[in-house]
Structure 1
Amino acid sequence: MDHKAHHLRFAAVLVALFVGIATPAASQTPSDTRFEIVVPEALRADPLTGRVYVMIARTDSSEPRLQIGRTGEPFFGRDVEDLAPGRPAVIDGTDLGWPVEKLGDLPPGDYYVQAFVNVYSEFHRADGFVVWMHDDQWEGQHFNRSPGNLYSDVQRISLDAEAGYSIRLVADNVIPS
Structure 2
Amino acid sequence: MAFDGQYFNLDVPRFLCDMIGTSVEWTMPGWDGGHRTELVLADVRKDEVLTWYKETPETINEIHSKVGYGKNYEALRASAAKVGQTFYNLQTFCDTRFAQAERKVYKNFILNYLASVTHFQEIAQNGKDEQRAYAGKFLSEMYKLVFVVTVLGLADLLAKVKEVSLFQQTV
Q: More relative contact order in 1 or in 2 (CA 8 Å, sep 6+)?
A: 1
Decide which structure has greater strand share.
Answer: 1
Q: TM-score range by the shorter chain?
A: under 0.3
Give the structure-2-normalised TM-score.
0.28
Decide which structure has greater helix share.
Answer: 2
